[in-house]
Structure 1
Amino acid sequence: MTLLDSQVAVVTGAAQGIGLAIAHAFVDAGARVVVADLDADAASKAVAELGGDDVALAVACDVVSADDVQRAIDAAVERWSRLDVMVNNAGITRDATMRTMSEEAFDQVIAVHLKGCWNGTRLAAAHMREAKSGAIVNISSLSGKVGMVGQTNYSAAKAGIVGLTKAAAKEMAHHGVRVNAIQPGLVASAMTRAMPQKAWDGKMAEIPMQRAGEPEEVAQVALFYASAMSSYMTGTVAEVTGGRFM
């Protein structure tokens, strides 16, 4: 029996990057996955990559909209009659110093990360409490622990996700629902690889393991939190950072 045998998960922002890696890890562990993403075409391509309609379902989803998030959860239940795992991963960046950051850029990042995570957590929890079981995994960031220059919006949102996770974990523990968070550090992606070499070298100098992480390494921690391997863990925050900013 695999770790998530016959279980059903919704993963937001799952059409690429860390979200797609999490979806792959879940499918490999025996789960069925709703790929909930703002980009409907990319979500459909992800479903094909994951193995097709038998194991995955694409749903267009703007996590700022509670109706969209509810639609993704309903799709999981309608298709596979259950919801066991919710991963709130969707996010954006609008980096700028405070002096140059627009109010719109601040509001967008807070809305997608923090409100989006709140929507996913509260709506999934409402369903899971009826089943008296479930695991919610929220993707924060190392930026929410230490703060990063040019990311007052992003750092604030990611720090907020940690607080949200802990509060929700306390509310839901007696209902059998666990809520945990992951804080990835520098993870290899198209975006990070496009950094100026000087910026890349500066970040690498802060990492004791002397390398960037891979999306799959974050996905394995999400799998741990989603599975019974972490059955006595709730309200925790796992840093997947190569030791950066210990």
Structure 2
Amino acid sequence: MSLGILLLSIVTILVLFGFAHTVLDRMRLNDKTAILFLIAIIIGTFLPNIPLGKKLSINIGGAIIPIILVIYLMVKADTGKEKIRAIIASIISAGIIFFISTYFTGEEYSTIFSDPFLIYGIVGGLVAYIIGRSRRSAFIAGIMGIVLADIAQVILNIVNNTPGVIKIGGAGVIDAVVISGIIAVLLAEFIGEAREKMQGGTSKKHMRFENSEFVSSLGNDKKENKIDKNKEEDDNDV
């Protein structure tokens, strides 16, 4: 079992038991939908690649399902600004990963990592968080950074007339996709939580955290007080 499939299995179990509910909720992703995507990715990795020509094919779990998940999250994004940030983060992340994969061979990783896709995932996750910032944008960039870098490598292989069938989303890409996405969203979650607590001191004592941002609760408090007061007056009239 590859590292990516192992991590996906662990995440699926965590989601089933409700441990990831808060993170998923902030990404506008409910538990059932998340489980469906996770299972689809796992199953998709074991299905035959879909041929796109004589020398090109695409993996269902390593490329198609992750892209569908990204599109789903993009549609759920609250603002156009968040969508643009996610796209920019994805492109920059892909560029950095492509540079690493192109100009560094496996020998450079042999003393640190046994699999270069591991470092692709780590770098992708870090870059995705730094640029994406929000949980959803970071997660989108974490996934698409790897997928876009893989597509760029495929194009390069086609241009160079590399022999054999070229696969999009195969040969360890799923591991990098999973690692990158998990690192990006975990960084966004933990660092985001810390920042929110630091920024939510006395200056925001009348505010509550809702939909990934602070909103004033003064209006609601006044409404509740008014309702209670009216109710009390009605009781006195009776």
**More contact order relative to length (CA 8 Å, sep ≥ 6):** 2
Structure whose alpha-carbon radius of gyration is higher: 2
Structure (1 or 2) with the greater helix fraction: 2
Question: Same fold judged by TM-score > 0.5?
Answer: no
Normalising by structure 1, what TM-score? Answer: 0.29
